[in-house]
């Protein structure tokens, strides 16, 4: 029973941390693109570039490309999606933490709620999920040997490639 409760608690925390990371990424990108569109689109600013031999058409193209990317990828909307999922997981974690002596029925209810929330998630970015796993592991003060080993390139491209199908090994599995 205790193992099941810890497993649910761990997975809810891992999912909350994952969506925190995704939300922050999309919020930063959205702010950057908003800034770039405003800055590049300002007529007064484009005058500065005329003295630097940068063609006005390049500036106009940059504004159009950034604005189109912002509209198509809806970074603000993606940030809000992850914010909602983050909040749902933290609310579920709070429900778990407030119960001092949970029984099987409560654990089943919490697990059911976790699966229900998971059904609303967009496709998972596996390297970010592996990092969230490690962060949850550290937060719960679990043994370091059970943390996942994430290749350097997966960390570099974690926001651009899903690394679907890659199996991350635990440190204890590699050090055998």
- Say whether both 91 and 17 belong to one domain: yes
- Say whether both 39 and 93 belong to one domain: yes
* DSSP 3-state of 170: strand
- Say whether both 83 and 153 belong to one domain: no
- Say whether both 17 and 51 belong to one domain: yes
pLDDT at residue 42, as a whole number: 66
Spatial CA neighbour of 75 closest among 102, 35, 112 = 35
- Say whether both 100 and 51 belong to one domain: yes
- Say whether both 94 and 135 belong to one domain: no
Higher pLDDT, 3 or 110: 110
- Say whether both 35 and 87 belong to one domain: yes
* Domain's final residue, options 122, 140, 165: 122
Higher pLDDT, 172 or 175: 172
What are the pLDDT digits (tens) for 156-169?
Answer: 999 999 999 999 99
- Say whether both 108 and 148 belong to one domain: no
Q: Total structural domains in the chain?
A: 2
- Say whether both 112 and 27 belong to one domain: yes
- Say whether both 131 and 56 belong to one domain: no
pLDDT at residue 51, as a whole number: 66
* Domain's final residue, options 76, 105, 122: 122
* Contact predicate 172/147, CB 8 Å: no
pLDDT at residue 49, as a whole number: 62
CA 74 remoteness from chain centre: 15
pLDDT at 174 over 90: no
How much is the mean pLDDT over the chain? 88
pLDDT at residue 33, as a whole number: 86
Other C-beta atoms within 10 Å of 98: how many?
A: 8
**Long-range contacts formed by 70-79: CB under 8 A, 24+ apart:** 70/30, 70/33, 70/34, 70/37, 75/26, 75/27, 75/29, 75/30, 75/33, 76/26, 76/27, 76/30, 78/22, 78/26, 78/122, 79/22, 79/23, 79/26, 79/27, 79/30
- Say whether both 92 and 138 belong to one domain: no
- Say whether both 47 and 116 belong to one domain: yes
* Domain's final residue, options 77, 107, 122: 122
What are the pLDDT digits (tens) for 11-27?
Answer: 999 999 999 999 999 99
Other C-beta atoms within 10 Å of 36: how many?
A: 17
Domain of residue 51 covers: 1-122
Residues of the chain with pLDDT > 70: what percent? 90
CA atoms within 13 A on the CB side of 57: 0
């Amino acid at each position: 029973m205790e193992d099941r409760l810890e497993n649910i608690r761990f997975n809810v925390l891992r999912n909350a941390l994952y969506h925190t990371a995704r939300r922050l990424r999309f919020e930063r990108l959205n702010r950057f693109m908003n800034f770039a569109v405003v800055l590049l689109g300002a007529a007064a600013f484009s005058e500065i570039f005329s003295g630097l031999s940068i063609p006005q058409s390049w500036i106009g193209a940059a504004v159009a490309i950034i604005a189109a990317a912002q509209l198509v990828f809806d970074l603000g909307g993606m940030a809000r999606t992850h914010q909602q999922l983050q909040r749902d997981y933290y609310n579920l974690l709070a429900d778990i933490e407030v119960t001092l002596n949970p029984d099987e029925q409560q654990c089943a209810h919490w697990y059911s709620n976790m699966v229900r929330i998971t059904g609303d998630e967009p496709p998972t970015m596996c390297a970010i999920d592996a990092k969230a796993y490690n962060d949850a592991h550290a937060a719960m003060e679990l043994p370091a040997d059970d943390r996942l080993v994430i290749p350097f390139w997966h960390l570099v491209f974690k926001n651009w490639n899903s690394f679907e199908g890659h199996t991350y090994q635990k440190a204890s599995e590699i050090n055998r």
